Chains A and B, each alone.
Chain A
Amino acid sequence: DTAVSQTPKYLVTQMGNDKSIKCEQNLGHDTMYWYKQDSKKFLKIMFSYNNKELIINETVPNRFSPKSPDKAHLNLHINSLELGDSAVYFCASSQDEGRGEYTFGSGTRLTVV
């Protein structure tokens, strides 16, 4: 049983489109995150949610909108996709608003053409 699962694994889309990435965790964790890893392999946090509430928003463009319907799910919707959005997006979760170690999903490779 996968602890943190993301879908889709690969996503190829045209500039200007709107797309969503889904994430689910079955660990009972309270906090979930989205990280972006660009072509230079630098991992940068984007958002963090604790019990469905946004707690970290790292100056990400408004085109990115996270949504957490419940504490086990954190989805990422991206409007008007741009070439620079091409990256691998990782979802992660941890206990209690940042406590302890993070468990990461396997990533979604987004390619904007």
Chain B
Amino acid sequence: DAKTTQPPSMDCAEGRAANLPCNHSTISGNEYVYWYRQIHSQGPQYIIHGLKNNETNEMASLIITEDRKSSTLILPHATLRDTAVYYCIVRHRNAGKSTFGDGTTLTVKP
């Protein structure tokens, strides 16, 4: 599975959009980008995934660049409860394991 690089920490004002970047320059054609988050002391929670098209669900939007070497997770209106560690993972959809890196600690401030 391809390696990912994320900034260690980010701050965001409550009510603003939080844009979390992820670099995955060695991604292969059949690898998906998955995002999870871990709120303090809880189990990781799935957020969204995509292959090459942008994706949106009730939690977030995922923007993947045309060359697929990077992506951005967007939380459109961040709340204090979105404070968590966000993990970007690249893996084959139908095989392999999810390898978690260090993630980005997002702190949403009032």
What residues make up the interface of A, taking CB atoms closer than 8 Å to B? 4, 33, 35, 41-45, 48, 56, 88, 90, 92, 96-107
Contacts and interface: CB of A to CB of B under 8 A. Distances in A.
A4 B38 CA distance: 16
A87 to B, nearest CB: 13
Given A48-B97, A101-B49, 15 more contacts: A33-B97, A42-B100, A43-B87, A43-B100, A45-B98, A88-B41, A90-B43, A90-B44, A98-B97, A102-B36, A102-B46, A102-B98, A105-B43, A106-B42, A107-B42
Contact of A104 (B44, B85, B94, B96): B44
Chain A interface mostly helix, strand, loop or mixed?
strand
A8 B35 CA distance: 28
Contacts of B43: 4, 90, 92, 104-107
B86 interface: no
Interface residues of B, number: 23
B99 interface: yes
A31 B87 CA distance: 21
Contacts of A35: 100
